[in-house]
Structure 1
Amino acid sequence: MSNDRDTLIAGLIALAGFLKAHPQVPTSIAPVIIRAFPANGPDDEMRAEVDQVAALLGTEIDPYHLPYDHYMTGIDFGPVRYEFIAILATARARHAAENSYRDCIQTDNTQER
């Protein structure tokens, strides 16, 4: 394959063909989500990229995720969803701050059973 996009598409097609040919293989009705992200950069550039993808998809920006500083759009194909998400600077900073304590806390795993 020539690039990651072609490899992903080929894999999805192969999976669909395999599942179609093998109905005895169980599947789930849980949604399948493909997520893509612009490269980290200035918020206005990342929002512009999401706006461009929304125009290609014919979709709007999802207002539900705006309070979390995730600027995103998406489209559904039955239980399969494609999302394009910009994680804005404040969300990245919040995540980094929350994770800065990760290695400072140790749990006591010596409880009697």
Structure 2
Amino acid sequence: MDLTSRYEINQEIGHLSELARYYDYHGRTDVAQQYKRQLANLQAMVARAQLIDGLRALADFLDTHPDVPTNSWAHVSYSVTANDVDGGSEDAKRAEVGRVAAILGVTPTLSDSGSHYTALRTFGPVEFRATAITQEHMAMHEASGTYYGAVTP
């Protein structure tokens, strides 16, 4: 992303933020929400562009520095959380993985335990994976971490 584009995007982010604050302050939360959605979409586009730029920079760096060790594989993941989808329900999270699977041209799979719903596409030794994890499984995972450091094996 060039400097001019970055400046223009930052200007637009500032403008949308000000409009959202203005309408919130004046009790027009419906209008403020519209500006907040536009702001969130713009921020997501910027984050995506930065990720793509970073991946290209990494590839160029590795190409010009053969002495840097690498594994023979890499992966990029998209973790679908309750915050990523409207409603945040298990069905909504699975629908999001299904949507991504359709874009990738793959069929999503459910783990044997039923805890992970995943869409996976490989590009040579690089994989892109979209996963939704059930709330129940996340709660079990978080609970197991409560003893971390308190018990020595």
Give the TM interval when normalised to the shorter protein: 0.7 to 0.9
Q: What are the ranges of 5 or more consecutive residues in structure 2 without an aligned counterpart?
A: 2-44, 83-87
For residue 56 of structure 1, the aligned residue among 86, 91, 103 is: 103
- Mark the CA change 1:66 to 1:9 in structure 2 (over 3 Å): closer, same or farther: farther
How well do the aligned residues superpose, as a CA RMSD in angstroms? 2.1
- Mark the CA change 1:25 to 1:98 in structure 2 (over 3 Å): closer, same or farther: closer
- Say whether residues 1:80 and 2:126 are aligned partners: yes
More helix as a share of residues: 2
Q: Distance in 2 between matches of 1:106 and 1:88?
A: 27
The one-letter code of the counterpart of 1:107 is T
Q: Distance in 2 between matches of 1:12 and 1:66?
A: 32
- Say whether residues 1:17 and 2:60 are aligned partners: yes
Percentage of pairs with the same residue: 38
Q: Which has the higher contact order (CA 8 A, sep 6+)?
A: 1
TM-score when normalising by structure 2? 0.60
Task: Report which of the two structures shows the higher radius of gyration computed on alpha carbons.
Answer: 2
Q: Distance in 1 between matches of 2:131 and 2:70?
A: 27
- Say whether residues 1:96 and 2:146 are aligned partners: no
**For residue 111 of structure 1, what is the aligned residue in structure 2?**
none
1:50: Cα distance to partner? 0.4
For 1:34-76, what per-residue CA distance to the aligned partner results, in whole angstroms no more than 9, with x for missing partners?
Answer: 111123221000000000000000011134x241511111110
Q: Distance in 2 between matches of 1:102 and 1:21?
A: 41
Q: What are the ranges of 5 or more consecutive residues in structure 1 without an aligned counterpart?
A: 109-113
TM-score when normalising by structure 1? 0.79
Q: Distance in 1 between matches of 2:139 and 2:64?
A: 46
Shift >6 Å, 4+ stretches: none
- Say whether residues 1:107 and 2:149 are aligned partners: no
Is the Cα–Cα contact under 8 Å of residues 68 and 91 in structure 1 kept in the other structure?
no
The one-letter code of the counterpart of 2:92 is E
